[in-house]
Chains A and B, each alone.
Chain A
């Protein structure tokens, strides 16, 4: 049940020269253990300077998103039994690296701020809860599952080429509110997402869907946003 695995990790240590290098560690892991367990073992027993983010270790917080064997994944949701013996680990692509596997997520998070990421409803609220049918709640069910791990946007070739592109995560957030029957800011939100770096830059590449740890079909939601925008007459002339 225990096997040797070779972890090839791309290091970035800003205080050293050279600051970029590849390190190889050969460690013994049980096949049901996760990549994050391997990284922790390396940090504890081989190299204490190895730096990576972690928190919940079971796929709900989104801290440990990184590129594993060429594809973005959560390190805590990837079991070594599903990996070959040599595992290449790098930080998320296209974002500035702070150290080793920890990237600066500011650019990713600020995209969310551009889509009015909160429920907007200025009507006086009823005494009890606002009613919403189960079917209406299902419309946003997938989009509320997003844990903002960053895997999707950093796997999108459009984002690689255009850092201003809103990206799958922010567009999914826009969907979550636009299609929430309790929200009243459809017009403003559509204006924000149909601009130059908005929803029209999605080319249905589906890289985001391939990597989402919550298995959300993000492109499907973006297509729904596009259809809504067309129905409401938005063509990209605003903002």
Chain B
């Protein structure tokens, strides 16, 4: 098998917003390679619709202090407040810098960046919704992604598209490099670098109904976990309340920001009961639980398992101007016009609050004491700083990716300038080649697709919005079963050229690992907080559980350690809206 070696000062896995922003930051100080398993503009960041939050105050008075409070409260007080403060105060110069880079934001009549309301964002510490999300129609992610990609090209970043990462090599507590495969011809490419920034995104594809792309499978997290490094807060997975019924396609929170409301089978605006002050703009975990409770109590539309998102009362011009993409989705996939008919929606797996633990400068932590792995950084959805705690507010993810992508890039500069030497050992490379050969040439009787479908269905049924102990224990058994079945998979495509079946098999192995991690973490956290809702422990338990979960893989099995939450500004209170 052909083995190619490359050296770059910094290698970045993932070409979404976080990866691209990091690349722009460190390319001024050394060579940068950005790897993606897709073409860069196809990254899932492009699907983000609603907006990127910053207290610019262009449409109404706003304050980064309120933004910090909203994010802390939205995270159900599990977010690290020093990191949140940094993010919310950094937000203003970040957005302005994005605009200078050329992002085509929608504008106010005075020509400033336009802002819209979003779930959980308020003024005066919770008094009323505030316009904080800067947007570009409902294609904000696309607009920012293209601008960052263009700047990356302008600044000389080297892109390696359609390369699949197979292994992350860390030895002597320092990054040595990564082993990848060029998808187009199956050749192995080894990248040695001083700094490695992981920006590989989320893993929504482990659930059956998700807004995420097929590429969102979380291999990099699994690779680190299998080597004994921790993952943080994995039990917290956000289910976005408004996904198209039957498809999971995202309908942005911005639709509710522009005035859309949720109604149940009785025609009632049910969010008034769950969040009397801000109603439909309550944080996403609360809205998802509200929708599923209504459905469970028989108040779905015609008793069925969905509710309606009603946009009929919104000015047609606003729908055209600010929500054109979701209008198109409804027309194409459901054959309905949102200005004339309500949209059937149901919660969909959307965002991973947990991930690779990092500090506020993107350095990956290897334990709860704050010790780091030399040369390893992470940013974006795959990382957990933690700014989102137990639940993420809308429009904070785009902000998180750009702010911490930049910070990770910046902190990588010190390593780039050092004289660190690194090598990926031949044995490691041979190991990977052998694994790949094994999958390709195996003659088992299991099929990748059927195992994946079973995994996704079970995760959706037993570990989504509402969780309980019996279900989670049963799910662990089912995952063990699936692990055994995975050992027997075989694929039909034996070629080296663009072998997507092989990649599906590789991804599935990692998805199974992550599922086991998530379910184990969900099982051990005996409280309900943010997006993690245990029906058998329905209350939030600050006395015992105001801490982050760190999960490790050891020879004796899965080990949990805890890291205290950094509380600097706001003491935890009851989360009411």
Contacts and interface: CB of A to CB of B under 8 A. Distances in A.
Interface of A: 13-15, 32, 43-45, 47-49, 51-63, 77, 79, 98-100, 102, 104-105, 109, 113, 117-119, 121, 125, 127-134, 136-137, 140-141, 144-145, 147-148, 177, 180, 182-183
A2 B542 CA distance: 51
B41 A130 contact: no
B332 A77 contact: yes
Interface string B232-248: 00000000000000010
A56 B127 CA distance: 37
A47 B500 CA distance: 12
Contacts of A58: 47, 247, 249, 329, 333
B332 A48 contact: no
Q: Bin chain B's interface residue count.
A: 35 or more
B503 to A, nearest CB: 10
Given A44-B449, A118-B151, A133-B107, A60 B46 contact: yes
Contacts of A121: 100
Contacts of B213: 55-57, 61
Contact of B96 (A48, A49, A129): A129
A131 B112 contact: yes
A127 B139 CA distance: 26
Contacts of A48: 448, 491-493, 501
A14 B497 contact: yes
Interface stretch (B142-150, B296-304, B530-538, B557-565): B142-150
A141 B501 CA distance: 39
Contact of A134 (B44, B102, B108): B108
Contact of A56 (B44, B95, B108, B491): B44
A55 B214 contact: yes
B517 interface: no
7 nearest interchain CB pairs? A119-B102, A44-B449, A131-B111, A48-B492, A118-B150, A129-B99, A49-B493
Contact of A51 (B154, B448, B500): B500
A14 to B, nearest CB: 5
B113 interface: yes
Contact of B184 (A77, A98, A119): A98
A60 B137 contact: no
Contacts of A147: 41, 46, 142
B107 A132 contact: yes
Given A56-B47, A134-B109, A147-B142, A63 B42 contact: yes
A128 B498 contact: no
Interface in B1-54: 38-39, 41-44, 46-47
Contacts of A51: 493, 498-500
A168 to B, nearest CB: 17
Contacts of B104: 137, 140-141, 144, 180
B449 A45 contact: yes
B447 A60 contact: no
Contacts of A53: 38
